[in-house]
Structure 1
Amino acid sequence: MVLLKTILIILLVYYLFKILLKWFGPKLFSYAAKKTQERFKEQFEQFNQENQNTVHEDGDVIIDKKPRKKSNPTKKVGEYIDFEEIE
């Protein structure tokens, strides 16, 4: 009898969850999509404000960053090994 009760409770919870998901799923999805859209909009506006100072009225772009230093090309990394095919 206990096993039958447990199975009925599991089925009841499963179908209740399924019904609730059917009712509230679209609302939750639209809420999450709206929040994600707001975050992207905020990030875009912030990016736009940061880069607004780098563009002149005539369309020229100013780059304020310094170029990176290149690594030393004369630095010996390893030894060259020539492989030959054996037939």
Structure 2
Amino acid sequence: MIEASFTGLLRTLAYIVLFYYLFKFLIRIFAPILMKKAMSKVQQKMEDQVRQQQNYQQNTARDTSQAEVNPQEKKKVGEYIDYEDVD
């Protein structure tokens, strides 16, 4: 049966602490860069959506203005009757 030595335990704890502080240090360096990239992607998507919405509104406004210039006569189908349920 193999027993853990005290020096092995200390070495493992030292590695854990070292990796923790190294990870913390790297996060402080790279987190702002990653956040800037993420925010620029979100901003670009929002700008694309705004452009699409503006194009859609312009197209619908153009279509409605053309419909007003050339109104089409609607066919009269008949009289509207509202039915009610009788209990």
Alignment TM-score > 0.5, same fold: yes
2:40 pairs with 27, 34, 44, which one?
Answer: 34
Q: What stretches of structure 1 of length at least 5 have no aligned partner?
A: 63-72, 75-87
Give the greater-gyration-radius structure (CA): 2
Secondary structure, counterpart of 2:61 in structure 1: coil
Q: What stretches of structure 2 of length at least 5 have no aligned partner?
A: 1-6, 68-83
Matched, 1:15 2:21: yes
Q: Shift of the alpha carbon at 1:55?
A: 2.4
**Over 6 Å off, 4+ runs:** none
Equivalent position of 1:78 in the other structure: none
TM-score normalised over the length of structure 1 = 0.58
Aligned length: 60
Which structure ranks higher in relative contact order (CA pairs < 8 Å, sequence separation ≥ 6)? Answer: 1
2:52 pairs with 46, 54, 72, which one?
Answer: 46
1: CA distance between counterparts of 2:21 and 2:32?
A: 18
More helix by share: 2
Identity %: 37
TM-score normalised over the length of structure 2 = 0.58
